[in-house]
């Protein structure tokens, strides 16, 4: 059931991003788009600090390894030991363009400070940088070769290498030892290996030539012997940082999560050395740290982007959630007055105290702030940066919910169950709800008693209420009207509360724990609505009969399942993983969740040598992490394995360590996304990942991995595509859009047998309304779980055809109108609502109207019949019957009139009914009226009476 999908060794902050290939160059060059001073053209992260490339030289700013570890306990400002030095290229052309080469597919974004003009987005990264014509006939190229940082000088034929002169400023010493150039700093030695040089002939073949450094004071030149002036020359030094005992900036990996598409985000705290204004050894107060957010593809083989957030203080990421459009929303803490905010909007635009929560929403490409706000009072929010957890989640309507701690008496509250601080001397739990744009505080409340209280996790129930868990040592912690344990156990206890969705009432609550220290770290809800709380205990946690448990250590993970009212225990268990007497020594449980099969999954930090393992454990030798899957009733160990780097001691910053504040994600698909901090090279990376190894040997780095407990099991969801009404018999091809299932039961609601096919074809014979139900079950290992859905089918009686009878006048158009709405098909092939006809005949149209059957209309069009013209006229000018008139379709016909002897007495090609028989005697006359275009010929007689 296990499947390791990927691991990757990613230096989250302060080091250059790695490309996707296994042996990708570790040194990458970041262009300057305004995020650094203007004299910087490119920068690259190196072991111990950062390299800055300038028009006529380059600078290093390096910091001691202590700074890197300081990232895990940054509340107390510390002195940072650093050393910066500069290399000037004497005589170089300052107008020489430095251009990036071999563009990488990733990019960086920088939101540092609250001035948008100083932000930079989609900053490109390159594998190499070339200075063109740095000296006449000389290019300088920075690049990586054999995983070493190099800079080459490429000289055209005949160019004198003595043009190249390097002057070092700010070093403690500079000497040539065994042909190598040693750069002495207050932090250690950097070695530039003896230069390798070669010439390239016209055919492209390389010919090595002798080359060595010439040191005069602080100036270095290159001496090349026996070169051919007709061939190009390359001089190739290499930088070696292996003897340099420092870390590249400070790094604290703290957040791992994946969006709905499986794209992986990780966030950490970083200290990156700034561009050095002066050179030499220095000591400085902690200059603050920024948040680095990285996004990787689902397989971990490519870095999509890295975004940096921060101000002039220090920031730390605590948790992450995703909006409905999969935009990442980060919960952080910051001590900066100028944390990046949008030019307008945001609930609170001013930092309130020592340290505030800051909530920031980014777009999915990391290039835009979509919302950002402070949240806090005059005290300290979020506690100690890596020691206190906080939680963020997103409601179905897009609202953002935050849970954590505050030391402020004026934390902003509104419409809450506790609007005033319950204790004036302790830290309190807080829960707040903001709109999705982070512009409005909808409600906010303290949650606490007379002692210290903390909210660690939040989950939303289907009815809109919240369940929150955390820790408290308050004997009077508010628990609402009902709950399993109403009295504290006497030490720090865990708790879980059911809070109304409006934040103004506690529905129920209970203490959880022992007489020793206990913490409730995670809360989740299973498919039946039961509440699962996971945490850590130093005591003997009360368990229920029949569960799997392990009591081989004093520090244990507990899992407690309660009914939704929090008044009854369904089951409880504990598993020992640490022999510790205080929570300061390690971070016990690091992740918890329920997969689509209902199994209980967790990860935990361990120092135990005998953790319970399954036969299919991925790693049986003790490591820093323990991964576990229990059956949904906690009676069976389904999976247990070690994983991660070497076991360490937590707070002493050994090779591997974690933080209680770390936020790791376990999804319903059974996938664990997890971070770990380490200086070890023994983290188990997999082939092809974005960053398979650290740079250097001593730098602090962050590892992130994805581990699938369920082999990629999809969450169970029953779903049917919408069905249109139709005429009975109504034949429907159902479309099954369910996820995670392998067994299906269709009940059509018409008395027909159950159908177990995936997307059945079914006919509803008679008119009616039918509720079709689909039950979906997962594979066999999840047979106790199911999901159902339904869809309404409407079959209606066919409508009788409607017949229209009309006549068409000869030669004149007639419009036929089907009326109504929908789609139309005439027997003429036309598909418009109306058509125009001019010929008699039968016309029909089928109208398909949404929600109705197809209706047919028929139009019977007949020739317009004409009346026989009157055959007596009395043209005596009394305006009564004076004219001979043709009627109906004979109007406008050609008319010929003849006397009784056959002589034509009148002719009109288009008769207009105005003949009065002037000058003709009374008598009988004969006429011929023709309409050739209508095929009409009519003969008649006419009597004229005077």
CATH number, residue 880 = 2.60.40
Q: Looking at the domain assignment, is residue 746 inside a domain?
A: yes
What are the residues whose beta carbons fall under 8 Å from the beta carbon of 266, sequence distance 6 or more? 10, 12, 253, 255, 256, 257, 293, 294, 296, 673, 675, 702, 704
Query: Can you tell me whether residue 585 is helix, strand or coil?
Result: helix
Closest by alpha carbon to 630, among 679, 590, 569, 575? 575
How many CB atoms are closer than 10 A to CB 764?
23
Confidence (pLDDT) at 596: 81
Give the number of domains in the chain.
3
Of 187-191, 203-207, 234-238, 301-305, which has the strongest mean pLDDT? 203-207
> What is the spatial distance between Cα 923 and Cα 942, in angstroms, rounded to a whole number?
8
Of 242-251, 645-654, 818-827, which has the strongest mean pLDDT? 818-827
Q: Which residue has the higher pLDDT, 33 or 646?
A: 33
Q: What percent of the chain has pLDDT over 90?
A: 52
Lowest mean pLDDT segment, chosen from 201-205, 802-806, 884-888: 802-806
Q: Are residues 751 and 781 in the same domain?
A: yes
Q: Looking at the domain assignment, is residue 896 inside a domain?
A: yes
Q: Are residues 852 and 877 in the same domain?
A: no
Q: Are residues 882 and 917 in the same domain?
A: yes
Confidence (pLDDT) at 935: 67
Q: Looking at the domain assignment, is residue 779 inside a domain?
A: yes
Mean pLDDT across the stretch 713-717? Answer: 72
Q: Are residues 758 and 777 in the same domain?
A: yes
Q: Looking at the domain assignment, is residue 789 inside a domain?
A: yes
Confidence (pLDDT) at 392: 97
**Where would I find the beta strands (DSSP E) of 659-800?**
665-666, 671-678, 701-708, 726-727, 730-733, 743-747, 761-764, 768-777, 787-796
Q: Looking at the domain assignment, is residue 740 inside a domain?
A: yes
Q: Which residue has the higher pLDDT, 506 or 268?
A: 506
Q: Are residues 746 and 790 in the same domain?
A: yes
Q: Is the pLDDT of residue 652 over 80?
A: no
CATH number, residue 779 = 2.60.40.10
Q: Are residues 859 and 900 in the same domain?
A: no
Mean pLDDT across the stretch 799-818? Answer: 70
> What is the spatial distance between Cα 691 and Cα 686, in angstroms, rounded to a whole number?
10
Q: Are residues 857 and 816 in the same domain?
A: yes
- C-beta of residue 433 within 8 angstroms of C-beta of residue 399: yes
Distances in whole angstroms, Cα of residue 411 to Cα of each of 318, 380, 389, 443, 803: 19, 10, 18, 12, 76
Q: Are residues 751 and 773 in the same domain?
A: yes
Confidence (pLDDT) at 798: 63
Q: What percent of the chain has pLDDT over 70?
A: 86
Confidence (pLDDT) at 473: 93
- C-beta of residue 626 within 8 angstroms of C-beta of residue 612: no
pLDDT tens per residue, range 414-463: 999 999 999 877 899 999 999 999 999 999 999 999 999 999 999 999 99
pLDDT tens per residue, range 812-826: 678 888 877 778 888
Any idea what DSSP says for residue 101?
Answer: E
Question: If you write DSSP's letter for every residue of 378-431 in order, what string do you get?
Answer: SSBBS-STTTS--EEEE-TTS-EEEEEEE--TT---BS-S--S-S-SSS-EEEE
Q: Are residues 894 and 915 in the same domain?
A: yes
What are the residues whose beta carbons fall under 8 Å from the beta carbon of 177, sequence distance 6 or more? none
pLDDT tens per residue, range 538-580: 889 999 999 999 887 778 899 999 999 999 999 999 998 887 7
Domain end residue (candidates: 863, 886, 911): 863
Distances in whole angstroms, Cα of residue 218 to Cα of each of 120, 166, 322, 807: 37, 8, 55, 110
How many CB atoms are closer than 10 A to CB 858?
14
Domain end residue (candidates: 820, 845, 863): 863
Any idea what DSSP says for residue 932?
Answer: G
Q: Are residues 922 and 895 in the same domain?
A: yes
Q: Looking at the domain assignment, is residue 768 inside a domain?
A: yes
* Cis before 729? omega within 30: yes
Q: Which residue has the higher pLDDT, 10 or 29?
A: 29
Q: Looking at the domain assignment, is residue 693 inside a domain?
A: no
Q: Looking at the domain assignment, is residue 593 inside a domain?
A: no
Domain end residue (candidates: 761, 796, 831): 796
Q: Which two tokens stand for residue 70?
A: 């300081």
> What is the spatial distance between Cα 111 and Cα 731, in angstroms, rounded to a whole number?
58
Residues forming a β-bridge with 289: 314
Give the confidence band of 69 by pLDDT, cuts at 50, 70, 90. very low
Q: Residue 335 region, left (φ>0) first, then alpha (ψ -120 to 50), else beta? A: alpha
Confidence (pLDDT) at 436: 96
Closest by alpha carbon to 44, among 272, 317, 223? 272
- Three-state SS for 189-214 is EEEECCCEEEEECCCCCEEEEEEEEE
Q: pTM of the entire structure?
A: 0.75
* Averaged pLDDT score across all residues of the chain: 85
pLDDT tens per residue, range 379-411: 999 988 778 899 999 999 999 999 999 999 999
**What is the domain range of residue 769?**
726-796
pLDDT tens per residue, range 110-169: 999 999 999 999 999 999 999 999 999 999 999 988 778 889 999 999 999 999 999 999
């Amino acid at each position: 059931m296990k499947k390791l999908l990927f691991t990757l060794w990613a230096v989250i902050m302060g080091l250059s991003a790695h490309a996707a290939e296994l042996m990708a160059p570790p040194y990458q060059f970041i262009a300057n788009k305004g995020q650094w001073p203007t004299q910087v053209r490119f920068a690259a992260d190196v072991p111990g600090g950062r390299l800055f490339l300038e028009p006529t030289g380059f600078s290093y700013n390096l910091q001691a390894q202590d700074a890197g570890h300081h990232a895990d306990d940054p509340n107390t400002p510390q002195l940072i030991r650093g050393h910066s030095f500069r290399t000037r290229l004497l005589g170089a052309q300052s107008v020489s363009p430095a251009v990036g080469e071999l563009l990488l597919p990733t990019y960086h974004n920088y939101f540092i400070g609250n001035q948008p003009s100083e932000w930079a987005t989609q900053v490109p990264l390159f594998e190499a940088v070339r200075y063109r014509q740095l000296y006449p006939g000389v290019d300088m190229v920075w690049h990586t070769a054999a995983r070493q940082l190099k800079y080459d000088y490429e000289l055209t034929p005949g160019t004198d290498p003595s043009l190249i002169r390097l002057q070092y400023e700010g070093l403690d010493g500079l000497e040539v030892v065994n042909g190598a150039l040693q750069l002495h700093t207050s932090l250690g030695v950097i070695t530039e290996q003896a230069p390798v040089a070669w010439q390239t002939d016209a055919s492209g073949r390389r010919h090595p030539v002798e080359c060595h450094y010439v040191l005069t004071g602080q100036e270095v030149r290159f001496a090349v012997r026996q070169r051919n002036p007709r061939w190009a020359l390359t001089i190739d030094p290499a930088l070696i940082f292996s003897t340099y005992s420092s870390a590249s900036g400070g790094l604290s990996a703290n957040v791992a999560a994946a969006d709905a598409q499986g794209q992986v985000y990780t966030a950490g705290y970083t200290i990156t050395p700034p561009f050095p204004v002066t050179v030499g050894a220095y000591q400085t107060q902690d200059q603050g740290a920024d948040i680095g957010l990285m996004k990787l593809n689902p397989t971990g083989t490519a870095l999509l982007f890295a975004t940096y957030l921060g101000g002039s203080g220090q920031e730390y990421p605590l948790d992450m959630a995703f909006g409905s459009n999969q935009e990442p929303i980060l919960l952080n803490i910051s001590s900066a007055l100028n944390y990046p905010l949008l030019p307008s909007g945001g609930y609170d635009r001013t930092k309130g105290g020592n340290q505030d929560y800051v909530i920031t929403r980014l777009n999915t490409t990391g290039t835009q702030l979509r919302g950002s706000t402070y949240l806090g009072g005059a005290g300290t929010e979020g506690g100690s940066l890596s020691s206190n957890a906080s939680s963020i989640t997103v409601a179905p309507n897009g609202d953002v919910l935050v849970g954590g701690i505050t030391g402020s008496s004026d934390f902003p509250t509104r419409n809450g169950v506790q609007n005033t601080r319950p204790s004036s001397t302790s830290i309190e739990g807080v829960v707040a709800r903001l709109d999705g744009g982070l512009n409005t505080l909808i409600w906010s409340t303290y949650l606490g008693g007379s002692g210290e209280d903390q909210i660690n996790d939040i989950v939303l129930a289907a009815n809109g209420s919240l369940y929150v868990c955390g820790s408290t040592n308050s004997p009077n912690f508010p628990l609402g009207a009902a709950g399993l344990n109403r009295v504290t156990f006497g030490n720090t206890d865990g708790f879980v509360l059911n809070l109304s969705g409006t934040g103004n009432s506690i529905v129920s609550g209970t203490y959880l724990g022992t007489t020793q220290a206990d913490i409730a770290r995670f809360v989740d809800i299973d498919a039946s609505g039961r509440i699962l709380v996971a945490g850590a205990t130093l005591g003997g946690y009360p368990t229920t009969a029949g569960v799997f448990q392990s009591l081989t250590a004093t520090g244990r993970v507990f899992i407690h399942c309660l009914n939704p009212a929090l008044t009854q225990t369904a089951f409880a268990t504990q598993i020992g993983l640490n022999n510790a007497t205080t929570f300061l020594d390690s971070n016990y449980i690091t992740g918890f969740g329920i997969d689509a099969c209902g199994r209980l999954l967790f990860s935990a930090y361990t120092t135990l040598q005998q953790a319970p393992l399954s036969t299919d454990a991925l790693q049986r030798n003790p490591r820093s992490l323990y991964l576990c899957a229990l059956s949904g009733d906690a009676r069976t160990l389904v999976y247990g394995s070690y994983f991660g780097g070497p076991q360490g001691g937590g707070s002493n910053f050994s090779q591997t360590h974690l933080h209680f504040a770390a936020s790791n994600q376990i999804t319903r698909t059974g996938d664990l996304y997890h971070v770990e901090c380490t200086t070890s090279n023994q983290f188990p990376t997999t082939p092809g990942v974005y960053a398979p190894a650290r740079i250097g040997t001593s730098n602090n780095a962050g590892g992130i991995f994805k581990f699938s407990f369920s082999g990629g099991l999809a969450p169970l969801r029953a779903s049917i595509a919408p069905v249109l009404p139709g005429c009975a018999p109504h034949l429907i091809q159902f479309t099954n859009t369910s996820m995670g299932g392998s067994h299906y039961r269709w009940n059509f609601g018409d008395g027909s047998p159950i159908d177990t096919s995936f997307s059945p074809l079914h006919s509803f014979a008679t008119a009616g309304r039918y509720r079709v139900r689909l039950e979906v079950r997962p594979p066999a290992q999840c047979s106790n779980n199911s999901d159902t859905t339904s869809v309404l089918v409407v079959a209606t009686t066919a409508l009788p055809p409607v017949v229209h009878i009309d006549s068409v006048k000869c030669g004149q158009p007639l419009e036929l109108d089907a009326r109504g709405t929908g789609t139309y098909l005439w027997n003429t092939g036309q598909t418009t609502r109306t058509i125009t006809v001019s010929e008699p005949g039968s016309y029909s149209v089928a109208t398909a109207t949404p929600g109705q059957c197809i209706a047919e209309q028929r139009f019977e069009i007949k020739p317009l019949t004409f009346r026989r013209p009157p055959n007596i006229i009395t043209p005596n000018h009394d305006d009564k019957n004076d004219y001979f008139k043709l009627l109906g379709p004979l109007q406008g016909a050609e008319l010929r009139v003849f006397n009784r002897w056959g002589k034509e007495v009148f002719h009109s090609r288009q008769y207009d009914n105005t003949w009065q028989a002037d000058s003709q005697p009374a008598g009988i006359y004969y006429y011929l009226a023709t309409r050739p275009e209508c095929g009409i010929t009519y003969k008649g007689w006419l009597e004229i009476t005077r």
